[in-house]
Chains A and B, each alone.
Chain A
Amino acid sequence: MRATFKGTPKGSGTGSMQALYAQLLVGLINGSFYALLSLGLAVIFGMLNIINFAHGALYMMGAFVAYFLLNLGGINYWWALLFAPIIVGIFGMILERTMLQWLTGLDHLYGLLLTFGIALIVQGVFQNYFGSSGLPYAIPDQLKGGMNLGFMFLPIYRGWVVVFSLVVCLATWFLIEKTQLGAYLRAATENPTLVRAFGINVPRMITLTYGLGVGLAALAGVLSAPINQVRPLMGADLIIVVFAVVVIGGMGSIMGSIITGFALGVIEGLTKYFYPEASNTVVFVLMVLVLLVKPTGLTGRAA
């Protein structure tokens, strides 16, 4: 079972159009998480050439750090949005420095196995201490309640998640595609040796990039905490779909990940309305179709 927001099933709401809009909103919310997570994966793959299977565990850590900050330190949601990505990002940078950097130049399989092992260990540790059931994380007071839009009722927190995720995704795209720092990142993706010979400390840049990707996953974890509760396996449930999103969008493509993330969330939501039985498989069916027609994904480059 995936830990995404389920919404209202067809026919059980106050009207079929309201149910459709509700599923569209659910799709957008799920799409926000898909976009943030697949964006982090794309950034990491582009720079490190590593398929980061630990991403789901790091997303879960983001939610747990927000939970600890609130319950142990009295630090609220708004500060958690800042601190959790930084704390988990630093954890990610330590992983990169101590383990992942040694895989440079090796086959993708090594990175995949190592990060999968890291994910199992991290999830195992959290499961050992917190079990499998969810821990509650309250919606901040400022985002409680909802708005009646006339055609549907919009819970404010869910609207916030969609808008904030979109802003973060676009800001990341701008950073990578339109700034000098982003030019360094894109150039180092193509030829790190030459970029380093221009005087840029590429190993440090790789570490920071991994930290950025991991920070995005942690941010998604914080956003998700009030909706899905905080659970050790919350990332494991989601990451398989996110990998399908990345494969469809194209490994290493920033805008591809963002658009595909939101689009697949919406497609999933629409499928829940029109043909609920297929809602859990539609993403994978699309993945198969895209792989058959364009193996590098809709906007991606070859791995």
Chain B
Amino acid sequence: MPDTAIAEAPAKAATGGNILQVRNLEAWYGESHILHGINFDVNAGEVVTLLGRNGAGKTTTLKSIMGIIGKRAGSVKFNNQEIIRATSDKIARSGIAFCPEERGIFSSLDVRENLMLPPVVREGGLPLEQIFELFPNLKERLNSQGTKLSGGEQQMLAIARILRTGASFLMLDEPTEGLAPVIIQQIGHTIARLKKEGFTILLVEQNFRFASTVADRYYVVEHGKIIDGFSNAELAANMDKLHTYLGV
């Protein structure tokens, strides 16, 4: 199946309108060519997961969409607006929020300051009460230094702070990495809850067992390209292929 066809075919099965359209996305770190023409779509209200091995280009894809990678080419349309040439602050203000793999909790800020750091970019963000309902631990640790939290609490804080902003499209980079199973389960419940609230989520995951509990659709990334895509209903039928792709 051609790459663009992979991008479009499963997306047609989804119900919401197209919110993100990525076409022929290429990216470089210095002289290293990392993404070689990524194509995929995300529809409003979906949870879409990018799967792939280490170094396949999943995180680079998110960073390229967010405008963090300096050298990139192709097309990224968010709500039909081209954002490939926009700076990351303008992309954030268009309604995309990014939760990085390393969580990005600031050590010089306490939990409250970390939580309140991202500015509100539009109406519709979750009020603090609702955020504390989702992550009750954070309310008890508001005055602690951000980096004194446990790994799970830091991940919750990293997700919580982007929910305030009013961004409707969340990009979560490996939110379960290095966390205990009970925390992973809690993150899964949170993502399901956010989906119910109407958020659209683009998830990068190596743990496809976790992803299968929350995702509507999957794309497989390999060597900087999307090599396959299927819906959650097709997951069981594609399990053998998936094992081969991910080397598990």
User: For the complex, what is the distance from the CA of A224 to the CA of B174, rounded to whole Å?
Assistant: 55
A201 contacts the other chain (CB 8 A): yes
The residues in B between 46 and 103 inclusive whose CB is less than 8 angstroms from any CB of A are: 66-68, 87-89, 91-93, 97-98, 100
Q: Do residues B117 and A197 form an inter-chain contact, with CB atoms below 8 A? A: no
A202 contacts the other chain (CB 8 A): yes
Q: Do residues B107 and A190 form an inter-chain contact, with CB atoms below 8 A? A: yes
Q: Which residues of A contact B108 (CB under 8 A)?
A: 186-187, 189-190
Q: Which residues of A contact B88 (CB under 8 A)?
A: 193, 196-197
Q: Do residues B117 and A199 form an inter-chain contact, with CB atoms below 8 A? A: no
Q: Of A180, A190, A200, A202, which one neighbours B106 at CB under 8 angstroms?
A: A190
A82 contacts the other chain (CB 8 A): no
B16 contacts the other chain (CB 8 A): no
A185 to chain B, nearest CB (A): 10
User: For the complex, what is the distance from the CA of A187 to the CA of B147, rounded to whole Å?
Assistant: 13
Q: Do residues B89 and A201 form an inter-chain contact, with CB atoms below 8 A? A: yes
Q: Do residues B106 and A198 form an inter-chain contact, with CB atoms below 8 A? A: no
Knowing A183-B113, A187-B106, A190-B106, the reply to whether A196 touches B118 (Cβ < 8 A) is no
B109 contacts the other chain (CB 8 A): yes
B141 to chain A, nearest CB (A): 17
A191 contacts the other chain (CB 8 A): yes
Knowing A183-B116, A184-B117, the reply to whether A202 touches B89 (Cβ < 8 A) is yes
A194 contacts the other chain (CB 8 A): yes
User: For the complex, what is the distance from the CA of A150 to the CA of B165, rounded to whole Å?
Assistant: 60
A226 to chain B, nearest CB (A): 38
User: For the complex, what is the distance from the CA of A180 to the CA of B97, rounded to whole Å?
Assistant: 19
Q: Which residues of A contact B97 (CB under 8 A)?
A: 198
Q: Which residues of A contact B106 (CB under 8 A)?
A: 186-187, 190-191
Query: Which of chain A's residues has its CB closest to B108's CB?
Result: A186
Q: Do residues A198 and B117 form an inter-chain contact, with CB atoms below 8 A? A: yes
Q: Which residues of B contact A198 (CB under 8 A)?
A: 89, 92, 97, 117-119, 162, 165
Q: Do residues A180 and B116 form an inter-chain contact, with CB atoms below 8 A? A: yes
User: For the complex, what is the distance from the CA of A201 to the CA of B92, rounded to whole Å?
Assistant: 10
B17 contacts the other chain (CB 8 A): no
User: For the complex, what is the distance from the CA of A201 to the CA of B86, rounded to whole Å?
Assistant: 12
Q: Do residues A186 and B109 form an inter-chain contact, with CB atoms below 8 A? A: yes
User: For the complex, what is the distance from the CA of A264 to the CA of B238, rounded to whole Å?
Assistant: 71
A177 to chain B, nearest CB (A): 9
Q: Of A180, A184, A191, A197, which one neighbours B66 at CB under 8 angstroms?
A: A197
Q: Do residues B98 and A197 form an inter-chain contact, with CB atoms below 8 A? A: yes
Among A186, A189, A191, A199, residue most surrounded by chain B Cβ atoms (within 10 Å)? A199
User: For the complex, what is the distance from the CA of A190 to the CA of B108, rounded to whole Å?
Assistant: 8
B99 to chain A, nearest CB (A): 10
B198 contacts the other chain (CB 8 A): no
The residues in B between 114 and 156 inclusive whose CB is less than 8 angstroms from any CB of A are: 116-119, 121
Q: Do residues B117 and A183 form an inter-chain contact, with CB atoms below 8 A? A: yes
B200 to chain A, nearest CB (A): 18
User: For the complex, what is the distance from the CA of A179 to the CA of B163, rounded to whole Å?
Assistant: 21
Q: Do residues B89 and A194 form an inter-chain contact, with CB atoms below 8 A? A: no
Q: Of B89, B104, B119, which one neighbours A191 at CB under 8 angstroms?
A: B104
B72 to chain A, nearest CB (A): 14
C-beta contact mask, B23-61 vs A, less than 8 Å → 1, else 0? 000000000000000000000000000000000000000
Q: Do residues A199 and B104 form an inter-chain contact, with CB atoms below 8 A? A: no
Q: Do residues A183 and B68 form an inter-chain contact, with CB atoms below 8 A? A: no
User: For the complex, what is the distance from the CA of A38 to the CA of B27, rounded to whole Å?
Assistant: 42
A53 to chain B, nearest CB (A): 26
Q: Of B100, B109, B116, B121, which one neighbours A199 at CB under 8 angstroms?
A: B121
Q: Do residues A197 and B68 form an inter-chain contact, with CB atoms below 8 A? A: yes
The residues in A between 12 and 44 inclusive whose CB is less than 8 angstroms from any CB of B are: none
The residues in A between 144 and 161 inclusive whose CB is less than 8 angstroms from any CB of B are: none
B146 to chain A, nearest CB (A): 10
Q: Do residues B89 and A200 form an inter-chain contact, with CB atoms below 8 A? A: yes
Knowing A187-B109, A191-B106, the reply to whether A196 touches B119 (Cβ < 8 A) is no
B27 to chain A, nearest CB (A): 15
The residues in B between 159 and 199 inclusive whose CB is less than 8 angstroms from any CB of A are: 162, 165
The residues in B between 219 and 248 inclusive whose CB is less than 8 angstroms from any CB of A are: none
Q: Do residues A194 and B165 form an inter-chain contact, with CB atoms below 8 A? A: no
A87 to chain B, nearest CB (A): 29
- Chain B residues near A (Cβ < 8 Å): 66-68, 87-89, 91-93, 97-98, 100, 104, 106-109, 113, 116-119, 121, 162, 165
- Chain A residues near B (Cβ < 8 Å): 180, 183-184, 186-187, 189-191, 193-202
- Can you name 27 A-B residue pairings with CB atoms under 8 Å? A183-B116, A183-B117, A186-B106, A186-B108, A186-B109, A187-B106, A191-B104, A191-B106, A194-B100, A194-B104, A196-B87, A196-B88, A196-B92, A197-B88, A197-B89, A197-B91, A198-B97, A198-B117, A198-B162, A198-B165, A199-B89, A199-B92, A199-B118, A199-B119, A199-B121, A200-B89, A200-B119
Ranked nearest first, the 6 interchain pairs of A and B with the lowest CB-CB distance are A199-B92, A198-B118, A194-B104, A197-B88, A186-B108, A187-B106
